[in-house]
Amino acid sequence: MSQLFVADVGGTNIRLAQVTESGITQVKKYLCNDYATIGDAIRAYQDNFPGVAFSAGCIAIACPVDKDLIKMTNHHWRFSKSQLKQELDLQWLDVINDYTAISMSLPVLTDTQKVQIGGGTAVAQTNIAVFGPGTGLGVGHLVPTAGGWQCLDGEGGHVDFAPVDELELVVWRLLREKYGHASAEEVLSGRGLVQIYQAIAEHEGKFADLTDPADITERALHSRCDLCVATLNLFCRVMGSFGGNLALNLATFGGVYVGGGIAPRFVDFLQKSEFRSRFEAKGRFHEYVAAIPTFVITEPDHGLIGAAAYLTQHYKG
């Protein structure tokens, strides 16, 4: 039986699924380190389904994909797209960036796979933006086309960090002194949480002893550390400002989505924070952005869902 597959590959895990007319199914996760090559991991997945022969696939991966040779940034796997297609005996194979997959998932996410923060109503078939604080800061835009959707690639996480208030200036100064340049990623990421924490502690003359972003977040959520609460509040405010900038850049009346591994951990905190007010704080364009909704993606398999949407749109077999 011929079947389609998708994969979502990060530095630690590879998630795989089959694609049917109703969506993805048979989702399984493997440790990348358990397999010498990505081909070995895909074959291990296929071995679970005797009689199934994959005819086409789409792999979403966290690294550049513009050349035939794919070299993972945070893992030792490297492979040729053309050779992998031949090795797996596929009619069709495409390898896309992980944020292309995330972007492609946005139009098909249901209300149970996302949480809206604040007001605004999405307008169908209009531009959409997504950004995701995690290990780094990924950014993507999605625009409607005659044949479906087109993802606009870029490196939006590395734009300049634009401080809005005095405390953010404190963070900006620390980053400028440390790196010579203050990018948005150095604030909106796991290490960004730590650097915000360090900057506020230094500003207030307090001892900064935490180095794990998860620890800072956990203490903030349980109100066990005033410094951690201040850190997470500033993080949410900067996310709001950054998201509002994306909305202005491309008139994203389809919505601005927050993905990544950090924000879904504290949706309730985000709801009560100044995230949305800062998203809308765009001076004369307040009403313009106030109409644009913001969402947090809560679906853990959104990378696979997006890869499946990409495959369905592009594979004509």
What torsion, rounded to 10 degrees, do the Cα atoms 254, 164, 99, 296 define? Answer: -60
Is 8 labelled as part of a ligand binding site? Answer: yes
Q: C-alpha 231: how far from its chain's center?
A: 21
CA distance 163 to 172: 7
10 annotated ligand-binding residue: yes
Instruction: Give CA–CA dist 122/138, Å, rounded.
Output: 22
313 contacts 298 by C-beta, under 8 angstroms: no
**What angle do the packed helices 213-221 and 190-204 form, to 10 degrees?**
70
Identify the CA nearest to 312 among candidates 38, 94, 30: 94
| DSSP annotation of 37 | S
Is 9 marked within a binding site?
yes
CB under 8 Å to 186, separation ≥6 — which residues? 161, 175, 179, 192, 195
User: d(Cα 316, Cα 310) in Å, to the nearest integer?
Assistant: 11
Contacts of 242 (CB under 8 A, 6+ apart): 131, 184, 188
Residue type at position 212:
D
Alpha helices in 123-225 (DSSP H): 166-179, 190-204, 213-221
11 is in an annotated binding site: yes
Helix (H, G, I), strand (E, B) or coil at 40: helix
Annotated binding-site residues for ATP read: 7-12
Binding residues: 7-12
